[in-house]
A and B are shown apart, each in its own frame.
Chain A
């Protein structure tokens, strides 16, 4: 295959501001850096911003964003949400579902016929098409159009949807996959027998920053230690578990410890713990970084992650991580970096948090290791080299 000069990115949402998930942020950042490197980048996405309603809130059409041309297409209005949720419920129970249920699920997922029509008509103009994350109708259908030059950026998790037959077909048809971490690649190999020759670990680059570790607490009048979580607050992300653990921790140890949260969604917490949460919602990058820098630890309780961007950001702020051992990727990142600890259950969590609270030298050492790891493994030049290596030398 020739050098990938013209690259299309496909994602269900376009990351503007702080309102979208990690996968969309990752795709946008890769696209921006590819454009900055001189590649002609076109970004195809939907007019939706809200990942619950998928309402078309942005105007359809073409817009120039930096060096990228971004095309917004409406989400299909005839989507049967009831049928989608019924199929999703069946899939959620596990144990596999018949093919018609899988088809009903993907047919009524977030789809855009307009986007697919554009890709059918203009796909020939692109050397490579990068689509992700894996579990959306938009990605699934876009990947079927020009599979021989489509690369998935799957952000794959070990969850029931990954076991669907149609996902196996999609992974089996594309030219390659760009994974975020080794455990994600291993999962694809295990689930789909995905060939190593078509797999590349790319990830996302992060620019190092400096943040004042005392500024946030001073500004907010915080006089007690705090731990931090950033991201969506929902059951799948483990935030109710984190609140339950921290409440038990406070009661059992008598330590006054707060939880600082950024991100979106309601926080489900024991009523007695609510007063000890500082919910910042969406904040500026600077405020988030300063909050991270002052935290005792950044806690990531999710077991469904393909790439812990916020954990890497916390490490850049020199803050140690504390992650769920069941998250293969987050744990792998902690092992690789020596920048964080992991817990299986509450007793591990309590022991680890006590160590982090009582041993500033340990906190500093873990934080410094984490930062060194991010600077080493996630510098943009290295990321783009891996990306272009995969795209330019495919086939």
Chain B
């Protein structure tokens, strides 16, 4: 829920200013970890192509993804909607689940390992390139500074 309320009148509405406020509020919450969860990673998967330019958001998305990558392999309540033969069907499903549980656990735990490794790899690649880009940016800055100093010295002679 929004923490702030504003008095608005038609003439006073500035959409760009409002969006800037909304972004600031969203970014603060992102920093506080409010949005780092699997539901958002799932909702956002179709938006990734539109977020290529948002470096900070990619970091945030990777945090969400870490949570989303792991398949829930714990037991779950077995229910039956149909009233007719409901208890019998529930019992049957419980028996089937009991028989299959070991194999699904094995399967999903392997999947979880793979997912975890993939997220770690993506994070690693991202960090590696971020560090490289940062180093290159610093080098460009230093070179620009040197060029400026040299041209200044050239003007003086």
Interface residues of A (CB under 8 A from B): 235, 238, 240-241, 244-245, 247-248, 251-253, 270, 303, 324, 326, 334-335, 337-348, 350-352, 354-355, 358-359, 361-362, 364-366, 368-369, 372
Residue in B2, B42, B50, B60 whose beta carbon sits within 8 Å of that of A351 in the complex: B2
Distance between Cα atoms of A326 and B44 in the complex (Å): 14
**Contact A347–B10 (Cβ < 8 Å):** no
Contact A303-B13, Cβ < 8 Å, known A344-B57, A347-B30: no
**Contact B50–A326 (Cβ < 8 Å):** yes
Contact A241-B13, Cβ < 8 Å, known A346-B35, A351-B25, A354-B2: no
Contact A362-B46, Cβ < 8 Å, known A338-B14, A348-B23, A354-B2: no
Distance between Cα atoms of A238 and B50 in the complex (Å): 11
Contact A244-B26, Cβ < 8 Å, known A334-B15, A345-B54, A354-B1: no
Which chain A residue has the least Cβ–Cβ distance from B57?
A345
Distance between Cα atoms of A235 and B46 in the complex (Å): 9
For chain B, the count of residues having a C-beta within 8 Å of the partner chain is 36
**Contact A245–B43 (Cβ < 8 Å):** yes
**Contact A248–B40 (Cβ < 8 Å):** yes
**Contact B5–A350 (Cβ < 8 Å):** no
Dominant secondary structure at the A interface: helix
**Contact B2–A241 (Cβ < 8 Å):** no
Which chain A residue has the least Cβ–Cβ distance from B42?
A244
Which chain A residue has the least Cβ–Cβ distance from B13?
A365
Which chain B residue has the least Cβ–Cβ distance from A363?
B8
Residues of chain B lying within 8 A (CB to CB) of residue A270: 42
**Contact A358–B8 (Cβ < 8 Å):** no
B12 CB to nearest A CB, Å: 8
B36 CB to nearest A CB, Å: 10
Which chain B residue has the least Cβ–Cβ distance from A235?
B46
Q: When each residue 28-45 of chain B gets 1 if its CB lies under 8 Å from chain A and 0 otherwise, what string results? A: 011000010001101111
**Contact B39–A251 (Cβ < 8 Å):** yes
**Contact B14–A341 (Cβ < 8 Å):** no
Which chain A residue has the least Cβ–Cβ distance from B29?
A347
Residues of chain B lying within 8 A (CB to CB) of residue A348: 19, 22-23, 26
- Report which residue of B22, B39, B44, B60 has the largest number of chain A beta carbons within 10 angstroms of its beta carbon: B22
B31 CB to nearest A CB, Å: 11
The 3 A-B residue pairs with the shortest CB-CB distance in the complex, in nearest-first order: A347-B26, A244-B43, A248-B43
Which chain A residue has the least Cβ–Cβ distance from B1?
A354
Can you sample 25 A-B contacts with CB below 8 Å?
A241-B46, A241-B47, A244-B42, A247-B43, A253-B1, A339-B15, A342-B19, A343-B22, A344-B23, A345-B44, A345-B47, A346-B44, A347-B29, A347-B30, A348-B19, A350-B35, A351-B29, A355-B22, A358-B5, A359-B5, A362-B6, A362-B8, A365-B9, A365-B10, A369-B13
Which chain B residue has the least Cβ–Cβ distance from A342?
B19
Residues of chain B lying within 8 A (CB to CB) of residue A342: 19
Residue in B5, B6, B13, B54 whose beta carbon sits within 8 Å of that of A338 in the complex: B13
Which chain B residue has the least Cβ–Cβ distance from A238?
B46
**Contact A344–B51 (Cβ < 8 Å):** yes
Residues of chain A lying within 8 A (CB to CB) of residue B26: 347-348, 350-351
Contact A347-B35, Cβ < 8 Å, known A361-B7, A361-B8: yes
Residues of chain A lying within 8 A (CB to CB) of residue B45: 244
Residues of chain A lying within 8 A (CB to CB) of residue B6: 359, 362
Residues of chain B lying within 8 A (CB to CB) of residue A251: 39
A131 CB to nearest B CB, Å: 30
Contact A366-B13, Cβ < 8 Å, known A244-B42, A347-B35: yes
Distance between Cα atoms of A362 and B6 in the complex (Å): 8
B4 CB to nearest A CB, Å: 8
A83 CB to nearest B CB, Å: 27
Distance between Cα atoms of A303 and B6 in the complex (Å): 30
Residues of chain B lying within 8 A (CB to CB) of residue A326: 50
A217 CB to nearest B CB, Å: 23
B88 at the interface (CB under 8 A from A): no
Which chain A residue has the least Cβ–Cβ distance from B16?
A335
**Contact B15–A341 (Cβ < 8 Å):** yes
Residue in A252, A355, A365 whose beta carbon sits within 8 Å of that of B2 in the complex: A355
Residues of chain A lying within 8 A (CB to CB) of residue B8: 359, 361-362, 364-365
**Contact A248–B42 (Cβ < 8 Å):** yes
Which chain B residue has the least Cβ–Cβ distance from A367?
B10
- Report which residue of A235, A241, A251, A344 has the largest number of chain B beta carbons within 10 angstroms of its beta carbon: A344
B18 at the interface (CB under 8 A from A): yes
Which chain B residue has the least Cβ–Cβ distance from A339?
B15
Distance between Cα atoms of A244 and B42 in the complex (Å): 8
Residues of chain A lying within 8 A (CB to CB) of residue B10: 364-365, 368-369, 372
Distance between Cα atoms of A348 and B51 in the complex (Å): 13
Which chain B residue has the least Cβ–Cβ distance from A246?
B43
Distance between Cα atoms of A9 and B138 in the complex (Å): 57
**Contact B39–A248 (Cβ < 8 Å):** yes
A311 CB to nearest B CB, Å: 13
Residues of chain B lying within 8 A (CB to CB) of residue A324: 50
B34 CB to nearest A CB, Å: 8
Known: A245-B43, A348-B23, A369-B15. 12 other contacts (CB 8 A): A248-B39, A344-B50, A345-B54, A347-B30, A348-B22, A351-B25, A352-B22, A354-B2, A362-B18, A365-B10, A365-B13, A369-B13
